[in-house]
Amino acid sequence: MKFPGVRLAARVAPGLLAVAALAAAVTGCSAVDNATKSDVAKTQVGDCINITNNSPTATEGEKIDCSSPKAVYKVFQTFDAKTECPSNEYTSYTEDLVSGGTTFMCLAPNFAQDACYNDVSTSPYKWADCASPEATFKVLQRIDGETDELLCDNADQFLTVPDPKTLFCVAAP
């Protein structure tokens, strides 16, 4: 005896099971990647980061409110593969994921006026207490919407970020 639709169900069911298994595998890998990402790698464009260890081989940090002087960087761009940041003013951040993928970000400086930072040329910037010997420069003035270094009257040096336009007038602490 033959029942109508049995052959169709026998052909469709394995296909549906395969699609469900593939979806579960993709979601599982994504969940594992997200669970194993550092606090820095979990940030989104516009979030700010405090660098807590600026070792050239093991940078560590945490998400922090952008109004804090410890919010050293603002996430400018994020990518799933290594990409060149648009200019030298941005710091690149790369993290390898468990699945074999990569989190890659371009970070813009987010220095606060009257705050001090540590600049080791081979490492990312890090917030530092101005009284500390770790402080290598102080932000005398932050001017949002400008990149004209002539606006830095009493500064020894300046840093500019093209997007969003920001000028930092800096000097020794």
Q: What is the pLDDT of residues 27-68, one digit of tens each?
A: 444 444 556 667 777 889 999 988 777 665 666 778 999 999
DSSP 3-state assignment of 6? helix
pTM summary value? 0.72
Residue 7's pLDDT is 53
DSSP 3-state assignment of 83? coil
Query: Is the domain of 7 the same as that of 67?
Result: no
On whether residue 126 sits in a domain, the answer given is yes
On whether residue 155 sits in a domain, the answer given is yes
Query: Is the domain of 31 the same as that of 59?
Result: no
On whether residue 41 sits in a domain, the answer given is no
On whether residue 43 sits in a domain, the answer given is no
Q: What is the pLDDT of residues 125-167, one digit of tens each?
A: 889 999 999 999 999 999 999 999 999 987 889 999 988 899 9
Question: Tokens in use for 61?
Answer: 């940090």
Distance of CA 33 to CAs 70, 97, 99, 138, Å? Answer: 27, 6, 6, 37
What are the DSSP calls for 97-128, one per residue?
Answer: -TTS-EEEEEEEE-PPTT-EEE--TTS--EEE
| Distance (Å, whole) CA 97 – CA 78 | 14
Query: Is the domain of 77 the same as that of 104?
Result: yes
On whether residue 118 sits in a domain, the answer given is yes
Number of H helices, E strands in the chain: 1, 10
What are the DSSP calls for 132-152, one per residue?
Answer: STT--EEEEEEEET---GGG-
Query: Is the domain of 30 the same as that of 59?
Result: no
Domain encompassing residue 1: 1-36
Query: Is the domain of 6 the same as that of 64?
Result: no
Query: Is the domain of 98 the same as that of 134?
Result: yes
On whether residue 78 sits in a domain, the answer given is yes
Checking if the pLDDT of 83 tops 70, the result is yes
Number of domains in the chain: 2
On whether residue 164 sits in a domain, the answer given is yes
